[in-house]
Structure 1
């Protein structure tokens, strides 16, 4: 899950597993698999970096836990 900022300035958490596509028109538009759309302040590059960092943290923790067994 990643933290994003809506155009109204409010922060929210989005489950990145539900993202179907992202566009820049010029604001970033995130479309979920259920068709719901979110307009956010972050650039597409920033969103991708947040997703990569989140997933890296999850997989690193899982690998470390598995190696302890």
Structure 2
């Protein structure tokens, strides 16, 4: 889960596994695989770093490297 802030200041946690797309429109907009969208205060680069950190924490990157190495 990554911790994000809505434009109104309320915080929420989002499971990064469901993120399909992150855009700056100019506000950062996160689209999920189910079509739901969230507009957040964090900039696009910060969100991407949080997603990468989440993936590392749950060892997704390690699994991907093993698959690519085959």
Unaligned runs of 5+ in 1: 60-69
TM-score (norm 2): 0.78
Pairing 1:1-69 to 2, within 5 Å after superposition: 1-59=1-59
CA distance in 1, matches of 2:22, 2:44: 7
Highest CA radius of gyration, 1 or 2? Answer: 1
Question: Is there any run of 5+ residues in structure 2 with no aligned partner, and where?
Answer: 60-70
How far apart, in 2, do the equivalents of 1:35 and 1:56 lie? 25
Secondary structure of the residue that 1:26 maps to in structure 2? coil
Aligned residues: 59
Q: Which runs of 4+ in 1 moved over 4 A?
A: none
